Chains A and B, each alone.
Chain A
């Protein structure tokens, strides 16, 4: 083989490696714990008269018998010792948990201060806690790993930036934000494929997630007519309209039909 042939043969893998290096630099350039690029500086919050605020409370129910929770097989990782039942539909005595309730419409052009405190996602027992989370756009999310195994956190958004980072045991929490509104944004761990949770990113502080008793509460709403949305990861979205006068306290219950 002549010299030219050798040079040609060696060039191909080098080109490949060059491309690899180029691509990897792109990933390295993004700091692991850097929050997502924040949205443009928000306008000052629209003032709300605390003397007139109203509230909405209620219970979300499941019509029909709750399906039996699917069993999770965690045997592929000895460090996973969590409760091995899926959380797709969690209903106890007809009360539906993990429903995200928020004011979908009626707030107009009002703006709200973003809380300075972070919300926490904990990976424990190879599950996410909580399973459904509400957060405001730009609010800090602190993600920690309490398991003795490595997880990766991989949100798969539609309108926010996608990312995928691994987090070994005892690592410092990962800090993230989401810049745009998005409901039921799935988060998964590709190392433990049963691990799944949903983040709901909204612009107002008027949201809640139902607990095991199916109850929710939206406090501090200014008087007005609102569309309240109830979103469940499998059963979808339902809405109700409610009109609140000053200092009103209304009950809005909702039920989902088992599909």
Chain B
């Protein structure tokens, strides 16, 4: 197992290199970083432009340029953003922290309630509860986040203020303007609406996964064997049913978490939530090559990492899978 993990981690290095090279190519061909720099800094001297090209590895030769960029990236000499010469790492770090917070909250809430709903639906397929949960899940999946986000903002902020004098939940940012320092309660209050928007999608999706996975398991022969043993129905369901039903769901969940790090672009944009999604939209809009490349590295690394987590958890839950 340990050897498998180490080997997978080792393999992720060439994967990262190949993918970042492709990203580098795409950004250079698609956005022309030098032109963006000149557009943002119209009065930059020739020397400044040459320096920008040098530190970012924007040589005419793509391969040479990529390795120059890579060397600077690994040694920690990250070029600064094209606008205002801000350092990249603090901005990226904050964006990651904000997205991880939102993503984790939404995933935990979403998967928890999604699984419960799925189990309840599967226990009496075709029953009233099942129909209710299925219909809600259908609505939840069908309503896109940009609709539900705006509805929530209208309800809990705009109309709430009209009816009760003040809004229930804030609609943008992480803290009110001008706030400094850490305040857990205030932060949670700002997170409620974006978390809700994301969690609804997750609840809807996972209730369906769980329902179909558990239904599969409930109809299997070994459940009948378990019942024929005369053990309690609860034990039959938990020990024999849930354990098997969770195998595919956990695997999908690990993969999903990996992609959430990529930012909840739509939700973050609507709530002006300064996470990875908003970071990407802003830096891509300005063609800010120094900001974009490290973002890409983080995204690729997180997808690779959670793929590995998915494989490990799969092997851990299912003895039939051997990692070699």
| A-B interaction | no
Task: State the B residues within 8 Å of A (CB).
Answer: none
Task: State the A residues within 8 Å of B (CB).
Answer: none
